[in-house]
Amino acid sequence: RLFPRDIHYPNISFCIHSVLALPDEWKNTYKFIHKRLFIAAMKERQWAFELGELYKMLVPGGWVQLCEPGPRHAGEVIERVTQMINSLYASKEIVVYIWKRLPMLLEEAGFINIVIEERRPPIGKWAGQQGEGVRDNYASLFRALKTPILDAGGFGVVDSEEEFDLLLVNFCDELDETPDSFVRWFVIYAD
C-alpha cells in the first residue's frame, strides 16, 4: 500500500509517475514542489533533466525544495561503511553527494534565488529518541544495501554475510557510543 486510504481533500490526489516523465498537464501548475531522498534514484544526467522538468511544473514565482543527505560523522566504522556505500553508488554511476551539485544543476535548469541550508541531526542512542530514530533509519538503509554490496564483492570492506552483519552491529554501536555524532542534511530551495 503506497498511499493513505483515509485522506480525502479536494485539492489532493495521489498518483504514481516517474519524475523523468511527468504529465504535460502538470506544467505551470504548482506553487511548491518538495522532493527528498533521491540520492540513489538517479544518475547525474537524469538529475539535470528532472530538475528541468520540475522547473516547467512550477507557476512563475513557484519554489522547489530538495532535501538530500551528506556524510555521517562518528568514527572509523562509519568511515568504512561510508567508503563501501560510496563505492557501490559510484559503480552504479550515482552521484554520492548530489547536494554539492544541486545548486549548479538548479541554475542550469533556470532556477534563481538558490539557497542551501545545512542541518545536523544527532545520530545514536546518546542523543535520545531522535538519535535512535536516525540511527535506525541509517541501519535500515545499510541493511537494504547488503545484497548489492556483497554481489559486487564487498568493495574491499567485507567478504561475507557474516562480516557484513558484524559491521552493521559495529555501525550501530559506534553511533550509540560516539557523543556528537551526526549526519549532514542539506535543504536546497530555489524559485
pLDDT one digit per residue (tens) for the chain, 191 residues: 667 778 778 877 778 888 899 999 999 999 999 998 888 888 878 999 999 999 999 999 999 999 999 888 889 999 999 999 999 999 999 988 899 999 999 999 999 999 999 999 999 999 999 999 999 999 999 999 999 999 999 999 999 999 999 999 999 999 999 999 999 999 999 99
Measured distance CA(7)–CA(14) in Å, rounded: 10
Give every strand in the sheet of 58-73, ordered side by side: 30-36, 58-73, 182-190, 115-119
Cell of 155: 568493495
Helix and strand counts by DSSP (H, E) for the chain:
6, 4
For residue 151, give the H/E element and its range. helix 146-151
Q: How far is CA 191 from the centre of its chain?
A: 21
Q: What is the pTM of this model?
A: 0.84
Q: Supply the pLDDT for residue 2.
A: 67
- Phi, psi dihedrals of residue 81, rounded to the nearest 5°: -65, -45
Q: What is the pLDDT of residue 120?
A: 94
Spell out a b/e string for 9-41, using b for 16 or more CB atoms within 10 Å of the CB, else e: eeeeeeeeeebeeeeeeeeeeeeebebeeebbe
Task: Measure the CA angle with vertex 40, ends 51 and 131; round to 5°.
Answer: 110
Residue 12's pLDDT is 79
